[in-house]
Amino acid sequence: MTKGSPIIRFEGVTKRYGKVVAVDAVDLEVREGEFFALLGPSGCGKTTLLRMLAGFEVPSEGRILIDGQDVTQVGPNKRPVNMVFQNYAVFPHMSVADNVGYGLKVDGVPSGERTMRVEEALALVKLDGLGSRRPDQLSGGQRQRVALARALVKRPRVLLLDEPLSALDAKLREAMRTELCQLQAQVGITFVMVTHDQDEALALADRCAVMNRGLLQQVASPSDLYEFPASRFVADFIGSVNMLEGRLVVDEPDHAEVAVAGIAQPIFLDHGVTGAAGTTLWLALRPEKIELHKATPAPPALGDAPAGRNAVAGTITHVAYLGSESLYEVKLPDGQKLKALRSNLTRWDQEDFALGEQVWLAWHACSPAVLLS
């Protein structure tokens, strides 16, 4: 099978618990060799979807195919997938080597080959020489490596990871992110990860599926999810956003204008929107795409919009200094608040704007993402 062709397919998969629909008619493809993330708030059905892939839950409706084989009714012990559990589930009464070798032992791999493969797997996760340790002598990060080695040693077609980094502290989490990425590139196995942490998903995954209330919201690359969200839910869930509700007033092939309450001039967009005039829609404007300008008589011009457009005056009501950047909350005359993020490029940038100062907010015509739902 060549890289990029589908390895996993969910076909109309639904899972009900009594009257509760945990996963609702999901159609999804995961490609060979990719790092795929299932992302969503808790209770959105992402874990149920992963557990159905592992075989711990059986779909109420639909089919799951792995490598073209229908595995919907196949037990977890007979699927070509292995899982890294959230709390690692390392067997406490076995040594590290016995933990890693357990799956091979169950498969009847002769002990000589088993020892070799266990050592190989331990080296892969940088635990060489720790084979004789007991799990309670390991740190949380090391236990996670044991869980990784234990799953990878079986050479699965797909590795499943359930919130793999959530139990680690912040510094370790960052280091493990990089390592997981390198590991995946090294072994070339398809990874499917469940996470509620959007940073984790954006940093690790080749593609992400965002879920909410059992429904698949959007499947896209991390940058597409962030820059081209398909719905208000996705725009709001991924990163921080200013959501402006407006009415479509001009819609031409090469530009459009949206009237937003509280902003004098309609917002100018550098592309057309396929919608009837008067349609209600939403503009998602990321804080880092809003520029702060000193109060001047005329609004700043950003070049790609007619003069006076895409700019609004306001007062800074809150400043959050975050080190690498500062987050400014700006109150418009009608009371609504917009967030603007400004990088502190020099060591004095954070002193440029102060609380209570009158400023202009301005953005490019290409910056707002247009959302119809």
Partner 1 sequence: MKGPLDYLARWPLRLWLAMVGAFLYLPLLALVVFSFNDSRRITVWRGFSLRWYAELFDDGELVAAFGNSLVIAASSTLISLILGTLAALLLWRFRFAGKAPLEALLGLPIVVPEICLGVAFLVFFTAIVPWPTELPWPLNLGAIIIAHATFSFSFVALVVRARLASFDGALAEAARDLGAGEWLIFRDIMVPHMVPGLVAGALLAFTLSLDDFVITFFTSGPDTITFPIKVYSMVRFSVTPAVNAASTLLILLTAGLTALALWLQGADIAKQAA
- The residue from 2, 19, 20, 93 that contacts partner 1 (CB under 8 A) is 93
Residues 114-153 close enough to bind partner 1 by CB under 8 A = 134, 136, 147, 150-151
Q: Say how far apart CA 206 and CA 57 lie, in whole Å.
A: 26
Q: Name which of residues 1 to 20 contact partner 1 (CB under 8 A).
A: none
> Among 161, 184, 164, 162, which Cα is nearest to 173's?
164
Cβ-contact 157, 104 below 8 angstroms: no
* CA-based R_g, the chain, Å: 25
Q: How far is the CB of 148 from partner 1 (least distance, A)?
A: 12
Q: Which of 342, 337, 312, 344 is nearest to 327 (CA)?
A: 342
| Under rule CB under 8 A, residue 83 binds partner 1 | yes
Which phi and psi angles does 183 have, rounded to 5°?
A: -60, -45
Strand partners, 204: none
Residue 7 CB, nearest approach to partner 1 (Å): 18
Rule CB under 8 A: choose which of 1, 106, 116, 261 binds partner 1: 106
- Here the tokens at position 162 are 């359930």
Smallest distance, partner 1 to C-beta of residue 53, A: 11
Residue 166 found at the interface with partner 1 (CB under 8 A): no
Give least dist CB 280 to partner 1, A: 47
Considering the rule CB under 8 A, would residue 47 count as an interface residue with partner 1? no
Taking the complex as a whole, how short is the minimal distance between the CB of residue 90 and partner 1, in angstroms? 8
Amino acid letter for position 22? A
Q: Which of 76, 272, 275, 300 binds partner 1 (CB under 8 A)?
A: 76
Q: At what angle do helices 140-152 and 96-106 cross, to 10 degrees?
A: 20
> In the set 154, 207, 289, 309, which binds partner 1 (CB under 8 A)?
154
* Min separation Cβ 69 and partner 1, Å: 17
- If binding is defined by CB under 8 A, does position 31 make contact with partner 1? no
Beta carbons within 10 angstroms of residue 274's beta carbon:
11
* Strand intervals (E) in the chain: 6-17, 20-31, 35-39, 61-66, 69-70, 81-84, 158-162, 190-195, 207-212, 215-220, 242-251, 256-260, 267-269, 280-285, 291-294, 311-321, 325-331, 337-343, 358-362, 369-371
CB of 86 to partner 1, least distance (A): 8
In whole angstroms, give the CA distance from residue 249 to residue 263: 14
Q: Which is nearer to partner 1, 149 or 180 (CB)?
A: 149
Alpha helices in 107-218 (DSSP H): 111-124, 140-152, 170-187, 198-204
Binder among 41, 68, 75, 306 for partner 1 (CB under 8 A): 75
Binder of partner 1 out of 17, 91, 128, 178 (CB under 8 A): 91
Nearer to partner 1, 78 or 171 (CB): 78
SS3 (DSSP) at 97: helix
The residue among 139 and 296 lying less far from partner 1, judged by its C-beta, is 139
Q: Tell me how far apart the alpha carbons of residues 135 and 262 are, in angstroms, rounded to a whole number.
A: 60
The nearest distance, CB 162 to partner 1, in angstroms, is 9
Among 9, 34, 85, 300, binds partner 1 (CB under 8 A): 85
Specify the pairing of strand 69-70 against strand 61-66: antiparallel
Residues of this chain, 295-354, that bind partner 1 according to CB under 8 A = none
Closest to partner 1 by CB, 85 vs 228, is 85
Min. distance of Cβ 85 from partner 1 in angstroms? 5
Q: Which residues bind partner 1 (CB under 8 A)?
A: 54-56, 75-78, 81-83, 85-87, 89, 91-93, 102-103, 106-107, 134, 136, 147, 150-151, 154
